Amino acid sequence: MKISYLLSYKTIVLVLFLILSGCSNKNITISEIKDPLENINRKIFHFNRSVDEKVISPISASYKKITPPLTRKAISNHIDWLDTPSTILNSSLQVDFKNSILASAKFLLNGLTLGFYDLDNGETVIKDRDFGSTLAKLNVPEGPFLMVPFIGPRTTRDFTGTILDTNITSNISSQDLNNLKLIEIPIDTIDTRARLSKTIDNIYESADPYIKLRSFYIQNRRNVVYDEKYSDLKNKKADEEFEKLLE
């Protein structure tokens, strides 16, 4: 147990060192999607799709059918509340103290209802942050696109961030909160599938579902990580390419 905590603290110190050494670098670049593992990724995609269509999707459809909308909303709120400690920590690491303070206040306030009901009534808007976005803040490259069994699409940077999130936040959160989060992983999966049912079905119905999913994930992830800066750079790049055609 002591060894585990020691490793976790060393990981936190390493991340803090990287933050402090790289926080002055604010360059954001837009690169093409790298997918050198496409053949393997496609196989994993088909595996994940099979699991989804045979297991997750039917359960999700039943959950959506028998569970009232207000109850589903409460469950979604609760799951988001459980993820707030990651936003608090990573906002601090990204030197976004305003977001960290707002997230902390909202987490404590909604703790009175375990997150099932938003006592703030949605008035406080916080930006979701994780270790993938923290690594992006340090200008760590996205790396190749990955399809992870059971988890789904990731970049290597975001997959690394997921591992760091799981390791570090579990050691700074209370044991009761960690146990609750672990128990509710299946509920989170079913709830997320229900909320994204139309989007996922639209992807499956496309000419090449794998390419569609890859593009959907990368574009949405970049928008989340870089906020409006990514959209500005994306538009600027499109303008530059258009200007080249006019030359």
- 202 in a structural domain: yes
Provide the β-strand partners of residue 155.
Answer: 145
> What's at 135, amino acid-wise?
L
Least confident of 13-22, 49-58, 193-202: 13-22
Please give the average per-residue pLDDT across 130-157, as a whole number: 93
Does 37 reside within a domain? no
75-88 per-position pLDDT tens digit: 999 988 988 999 99
Looking at the domain assignment, is residue 247 inside a domain? no
Within a domain: 88? yes
In a domain, 40, yes or no: no
What residue type is 111 in one-letter code?
G
Question: Over the stretch 176-225, which tens digit does the pLDDT of each residue have?
Answer: 666 767 777 888 899 999 999 999 999 999 999 999 999 999 999 998 88
pLDDT of residue 72: 92
* Domain total of the chain: 1
- Residues 194, 175: Cα–Cα separation, whole Å: 29
pTM of the model: 0.75
Show the domain range for 228.
Answer: 2-22+46-240
pLDDT at res. 186: 87
pLDDT at 92 over 90: yes
Query: Do the domain assignments include residue 31?
Result: no
CA–CA dist 23, 20 (Å, integer): 6
- Of residues 44 and 27, the one with the higher pLDDT is 44
Q: Are 214 and 35 in contact (CB under 8 A)?
A: yes
Torsion, CA 176, CA 181, CA 182, CA 185, rounded to 10: 160
DSSP lists the bridge partners of residue 147 as 153
| Helix H or strand E segment including 134 | helix 131-137
